[in-house]
Structure 1
Amino acid sequence: MLLTCIELRGLNLTGTLPVEFVNLTYLREIDLTRNYLNGTIPRMFGLLRVVNVSLIGNRLSGRIPDEIGDITTLEELVLEDNYLEGNLSASLGRLRNLRRLPCWLQYFNGTIPETYGNLRNLTDFRIDGSNMSGRIPDFIGNWTRLSRLATYYGVGIDLWSAGCILAELFAGKPIMTGRTEWCSPSEEYWKKSKLPHATMFKPQHSYKRCIKETFKDFPQVVR
């Protein structure tokens, strides 16, 4: 059997990221969310041909290696809630298939690299909770598929998250779910929205408002 997916979520795993992952030539997904992994991201990971990588909530430190920009198959690189530092790697701008890059709650500094203007398939970019500086670059006008952009982390985000969790506990099911596995608009939606200008983003086929319908069974005190 050829190993294509490694999913080890919330198992209290310790140690460093195994360089031996690069020997798994058919590996497409790595999910090590919510463990206690430390050390740096190996430079050898640039040899991987994975599609999705999730390292949320570990204790990884150091910089994002430039070699990660060699993983041309990468679509999801989720690094949030670690101890990564330094400048964002400009090499990530080579990942033209990249759709998600949540990097919030880190120790990054500097500015967003100009090469990120090449990430035209990006739907989710978050660097809030870091020490980034400078102006929001003009090239984000190239990110015409972007559905989530966060550069600041504050109490409002926590309150919103807590409210969603309580609502889902009450309802017993997810609320306001996305159109895809990662809760972003579907490809069909983007095909229908013919964007004439990146700076005048207004989809021609907007989503129907469904907040009242979603919460119609909730008690009045909750609504």
Structure 2
Amino acid sequence: MKRYTHDLETDLNDVDKTPSLIHKTLLTASTIYDLKYLAQVLNDENGSNWSRASLKRQVTCIPEHCDLSIADGRYLQTLIPSRPADYEDRHFSFIDLFAGIGGLRSGFDAIGGKCLFTSEWNTYSSRTYRANWYCDENEHRFNSDIRDITLSNRPEVTDDEAYKFIDASIPDHDVLLAGFPCQPFSIAGVSKKNSMGRKHGFECDTQGTLFFDVARIIRAK
């Protein structure tokens, strides 16, 4: 497990704001780790007495009523990627489609790119991605199914309506990263689908048409 050595970015000594800040940290941590795991590490680290059920109640409570201690909040923050020192100096922006755990992002992040939008449908990949990469809540957006953005799964939506929705949903950017699934087109993938009597290539409704979703986004932006 990766640990991050920084405290809450906002001052936890402000008694009036502390519960809300800790609640916010808990919400972020819960998008990365299972609540059962978080309860266990908080108990081990701070001698707390949390369970999955009791932490779930904290997640859904009114932020101002969050009962986690400052020590709990600070420990949770060590599990969340910290803001890079050069974040404000990044010199180009990009979006990350079919992101997986962020392998393609790694190179573009390393050369000074700032990610503004991520789309990944697999829950476990998304959790791992969030654990590996800092994502500014004010600038960055997570999305699951890319078709929720392109509206390609809604035949009643016109192209013009879809383009307007895409433009409003995805921030302007300099570079688009999109490692869309290759299984319907690869030799191994086609062979497997043939052996199972399934469609492949662009005829594969599940993965074969996702390239066109990327094309829709490019046209809209």
Fold shared by both chains (TM-score > 0.5): no
- Which one has a bigger Cα radius of gyration? 2
Q: Between the two structures, name the one with larger relative contact order (CA 8 Å, sep ≥ 6).
A: 2
Which one has the bigger strand percentage? 1
Which one has the bigger helix percentage? 2
TM range (shorter): under 0.3
